Amino acid sequence: MGKGLKTSDRIREELKSKGIRYWAGDNISSVVTDSDKSELIDELTEKFEGVLDTLLIDRDNDPNSMDTPRRLAKMYINEIMGGRYEKAPKVTAFPNDDPDHRYGGIIVTRAELISMCSHHHQPVKGVAYIGLLAGVRVIGLSKYARIAQWCASRGTLQEELTMSIADELQKHTGTKDLAVYVQATHGCMEHRGVLAHSSLTQTTELRGQFFNPSVKQEFLDYIKMQQVFAGTRT
C-alpha cells in the first residue's frame, strides 16, 4: 500500500485488494475505523469547500455558509450515509423453541426511515412495515427498527433497500417466512424533474408463507391498523 495517500485512497486500495465491493449501498465497515471516519470528515470538508467555491458562494463572509462544508461532511459520514461505515447493530436473539411456550403467530413492526437516492443524493423518507412468522428465535422489538434504519442510512434504491432489510432480518431471526413493505417519498421526484409533490413509492418483498394469500392479507390488514394508529399519534 502506498505511502502518503489520502485516507480515502488508502481505504479504496484496501477494498480493491480484498475484493470488497464499495457501491453506494454497500457496508464497508470492515475496513473503516473510527479514526478513519474522522479523517474522512476532514478530507470531505475540503471537497465541500471546493463545491461551495465553484457554486460561487462566499463562505468566508456569508454567515449562513460559514462552516457549512464541515457540517455537510459530518452529515454524510455520520448520518445519511452512516450505514456504510458502521457495523450492523448488535442483536440479541431469544429462543422460541419451547414446545409449551413457542410463539407461532405473525409479528408486525414499523420503522421510520430516512435514506438517500444514490442517483441524485436526494432524501428518501418513509416507513418500513416488517412482518414475519416467528422461527426458532426472536429478536427485541427495537432491533427491527434499528436494522431497517441501518440498512437505510446509505445511498440506495428503494427496491434494493426493501430486499436488504429482508435479508438482514432473515439472517438474525432464522425465519423463512418474512415480508417487508416500504412506502416513501423521494426528493428526486419532489424537488427536481417532474416535481411530483404527491408521489408515493411502495415496494414489497415477500418470502415463504407470505405468498400464502391468507397470511399476506393478514399482514396487509395489520399494516392498515398500524397506519391508523400512527395517524392518531401525530
Mean pLDDT for all residues in the chain: 95
pLDDT digits (tens, 9 = 90+) for 30-69: 999 999 999 999 999 999 999 999 999 999 999 999 999 9
- pLDDT given for residue 3 in this prediction: 59
> pLDDT for 193-230, tens place per residue?
999 888 899 999 999 999 999 999 999 999 999 999 99
pLDDT at 98: 84
Between the alpha carbon of residue 223 and those of residues 21, 51, 99, the distances in Å are: 35, 43, 29
- Segment holding 16, helix H or strand E: helix 7-17
Q: Which residues pair with 129 in a beta bridge?
A: 110, 181
Q: What is the pLDDT of residues 120-131, one digit of tens each?
A: 999 999 999 999
CATH class of the structural domain 94-232: alpha beta
Q: Which pLDDT score is estimated for 1? A: 42
Q: What is the pLDDT of residue 231?
A: 87
7-85 and 94-232, same CATH topology? no
Alpha carbon 3 to its chain centroid, in Å, reads 34
Using the predicted structure, report yes or no on whether residue 112 has a pLDDT greater than 50: yes
Q: Which residue ranges make up each domain of the chain? A: 7-85, 94-232
Cell of 195: 416535481
The angle, 0 to 180 degrees and rounded to 10, between the axes of the packed helices 141-152 and 158-173 is: 140
Q: Which helix (H) or strand (E) holds 159?
A: helix 158-173
Retrieve residue 26's grid coordinates. 454497500
* Mean pLDDT value across residues 90-110: 90
Burial class (CB in 10 A: 0-12, 13-18, 19+), 161: buried
pLDDT over 90 at 100, yes or no: no
Is 148 in contact with 111 (CB distance < 8 Å)?
Answer: yes
Taking the C-alpha atoms of residue 23 and residue 26, their distance in angstroms, rounded to an integer, is 5
pLDDT digits (tens, 9 = 90+) for 59-71: 999 999 999 999 9
Nine-digit cell string for 65: 455558509
Among the listed residues 65, 71, 80, 152, the one whose alpha carbon sits nearest the alpha carbon of residue 111: 152
Q: Is the pTM of this model over 0.75?
A: yes
Superfamily name with CATH number, domain 7-85 = GTP cyclohydrolase I, N-terminal domain (1.10.286.10)
Query: Which of 56, 85, 87, 51 is CA-nearest to residue 71?
Result: 51
Tell me if residue 12 falls in helix, strand or coil. Answer: helix
